[in-house]
Amino acid sequence: MPRVFSPLRDEDVERVRALPAQAQAEELLERAIGHDTRALELFDELVDGWRGHIRMSDRMKQLERRSEFSKDLRVRYANADINLVLEGWQKNEHAADLLIQRALSDPRYRAWAVYYLGMLAGRGVDYERIHGLLLNYARNDKDPVVRQWAVERMRFLGKDEVLDELFTSFTEDPANSVRDRAGCNMSDCGIFTRKQRMRMVPKLLDLAMNPRTTGPMRSWTFRALQEITDESLPADALAWSRWYQEHGSEKSAEFERSEWWQVRGDE
C-alpha cells in the first residue's frame, strides 16, 4: 500500500542520507509523488549517486508507474531520472552517443534505445540531435513498434514544435497503436504544460469537424479535448466549437495563472 509521510524535516534528511541507496530512492520518490518539495530537492541531489546501486524492486516498479502519471511535472522529471539510473545511463552526451549507435546497429534494441534517448533529451542532453533522431524514427521506421516508442519518448521533449509533430503522427501514421500513443502524449502524458497543450485545441476541433475523420479517430479526438481542457462535453463537434469560442480564452488564462508544473494526473 502507498505510504503516508509527514513533510520532510531536518532529522528526516539525515536519516534518509544514512539509508542504503535502494531505501533512499524508494522513500524519496514516494515522498515526491506526495508533492513534498524538499524531498524532490533531495531526490535531485542524490539520484545520480544511485546508479549501479538500485534495482527495480516490486515497490520501485509501483513507484515508477505512479510517478509517470503524476499531476506534478517535477515528479514526471524524477520518473525519467529514476529510469535512466535503473538502466545505468548517465545524463551526458557520451550516453547519447552510445544509445544512438546501439539504435543504428541493433534493431532488436532500437525501441529501447529511443526510449532512453527521449528521457536524456528531456533532461537537457544533446536535445537537437536526439530530437531529430526520434522524429526520423517516428516518421520513417518500418517497424510500428519503433515508431510507437519514438512517439512515446517525444513526450519528454517538452517544446511546442513537438506537440505539432505528435499531432502529425496522431493523424497520419498507418498504425493505430502509434496514433493512439501520439494522441495520449499530446493530450495528457509527458512533460508538456497545460498552457502548451491548450494550443492544440483548434487543430483538434478542425479534426472533429472534418467529415472524413473516421469513427475511432473522432473518439480519440474528443477524448484528447476532454483531457486537455478538463471539460466534460458530449462527443459533438459543434458543442466543442461553441465552448471554445465562449470559454477558450478563459481556460487558457486559467492555465497561464497555474504553477508551471501543475498538470492533469492521477495523484
pLDDT per position as a tens digit, 1-59: 788 899 999 999 999 999 999 999 999 999 999 999 999 999 999 999 999 999 999 99
Q: Is 239 helix (H, G, I), strand (E, B) or coil?
A: helix
In a domain, 258, yes or no: no
In a domain, 60, yes or no: yes
Q: How far is Cα 156 from Cα 189, in angstroms, rounded to an integer?
A: 9
Amino acid 40 reads L
Only one residue has cell 512533460, namely 191
In a domain, 83, yes or no: yes
Q: How far is Cα 206 from Cα 212, in angstroms, rounded to an integer?
A: 11
Confidence of residue 128 (pLDDT cuts 50, 70, 90): very high
Residue 3's pLDDT is 86
In a domain, 22, yes or no: yes
Please tell me the total count of domains within the chain. Answer: 1
In a domain, 153, yes or no: no
Q: How far is Cα 185 from Cα 190, in angstroms, rounded to an integer?
A: 6
Could you tell me the end-to-end alpha-carbon distance of the chain, in angstroms, rounded to an integer? Answer: 14
Residue 262 phi, psi dihedral angles, 5° rounding: -80, 120
In a domain, 62, yes or no: yes
List the domain range (segments joined by +) for residue 63: 10-87
How buried is 238 (Cβ within 10 angstroms: 0-12 exposed, 13-18 middle, 19+ buried)?
exposed
